[in-house]
Amino acid sequence: MNLFDTMASMEHEQVVFCSDPNSGLRSIIAVHNTALGPGIGGVRMWPYPDEQTALNDVLRLSQGMTYKAAIAGVNFGGAKSVIIGDPARHKTEALLRAHGRFVQSLAGRYIPGVDVGTSQADMDVLAVEAKRVFSGTGDPSPLTALGVLESIRAAVEFVDGSPVLEGRRIAVQGAGHVGEPLIRHLAQEGAKLVISDVDRTKVERLAVDLPVEVVDPDEILGVDCDVFAPCALGAVVDDASIPALRCRIVAGGANNVLAEPRHAVALADAGILYVPD
């Protein structure tokens, strides 16, 4: 990848590579657009297989945040950051504070929040070093899940003429910050749920409380269902997965569900209604 050419084509303003050997921090901050205000976007911590994958993710995520902030009509731009590492093994206070210092070095151009692999408690740690952090405000994920629920309801009504979710078979990929509350909402609506997560303990815990069917992560894309709700990582809809889909609607909370914009056309050609994240 030629980074400057890619930044120009995706219209990014700034990309910062951060390294702190003492804490083990390796992170990337991408500021996409600050025309409407400082860039907002979560801090994602994930064991990316390589730096290129991490860079691709942060560029796509930050670009998406610009559009989301603009559509919402708020005075913010788009940005994002990723920390390379397993949050269950590598996350420490020293690592988070080091990332916070890099955030602070941008002088308010980027305001971080919660994302995959981080929590509100982690944002409180970042706030020790960075002046502008979405911390101490409560977890926004349940509200995101509520938005996804209403999106699913609207999509079902568009396809079938009725917003009723009772008896609908819905496959939810991911049982994390957004996936879990969405699953609970759908269960209350009487939907027939099939769920999966790379962390098997999350779905097994839900299966104790709720009438759900648990499948392995590599099976969820092919589940015969009314709605496929991706709520984990992005880029799950691609050339390989579209032929495997057995749903009528794709509507979830994951960022950047499509691997490429052209896959929206491919979904339409397959007769599948797509609700953008």
Q: Token digits for 63?
A: 């670009």
Same domain assignment for residues 81 and 148: no
| pLDDT tens, position by position, 124-176 | 999 999 999 987 667 788 999 999 999 999 999 999 999 999 999 999 999 99
With tokens 């609506």, the residue in question is 189
User: In the predicted model, is pLDDT for residue 257 greater than 70?
Assistant: yes
Residue 111, domain member (yes or no): yes
CA angle (81, 48, 227) in 5-degree steps: 85
69: exposed, middle or buried (Cβ count in 10 Å: 0-12, 13-18, 19+): buried
**Cβ contact 119:87 at 8 Å:** no
Residue 52 contacts by C-beta under 8 Å, 6 or more apart in sequence? 1
User: 33: domain CATH number?
Assistant: 3.40.50.10860
Residue 267, domain member (yes or no): yes
Q: What pTM, to 2 d.p., does this model score?
A: 0.84
Residue that finishes a domain, picked among 106, 129, 152: 129
**Cβ contact 155:132 at 8 Å:** no
For the chain, the domain total comes to: 2
3-10 vs 51-72: helix crossing angle, rounded to 10 = 20
CA distances from 121 to 105, 113, 126, 201, 241 (A): 21, 11, 9, 22, 35
Question: The domain containing residue 157 runs over which residues?
Answer: 141-275
| pLDDT tens, position by position, 228-245 | 999 998 889 999 999 999
Residue 136, domain member (yes or no): no
**Cβ contact 11:83 at 8 Å:** no
Mean pLDDT in residue range 247-273 = 95
**Beta carbons within 10 angstroms of residue 187's beta carbon:** 18
Residue 68, domain member (yes or no): yes
**CA-closest candidate to residue 210, choices 225, 188, 227:** 188
pLDDT at residue 137, as a whole number? 65
What's the rounded Cα separation, in Å, for the pair 215 and 228? 14
Residue 86, domain member (yes or no): yes
User: 182: domain CATH number?
Assistant: 3.40.50.720
Residue 50, domain member (yes or no): yes
Q: Choosing from 80, 91, 192, 202, which is the catalytic residue?
A: 80
Per the annotation, the verdict on 80 as an active-site residue is yes
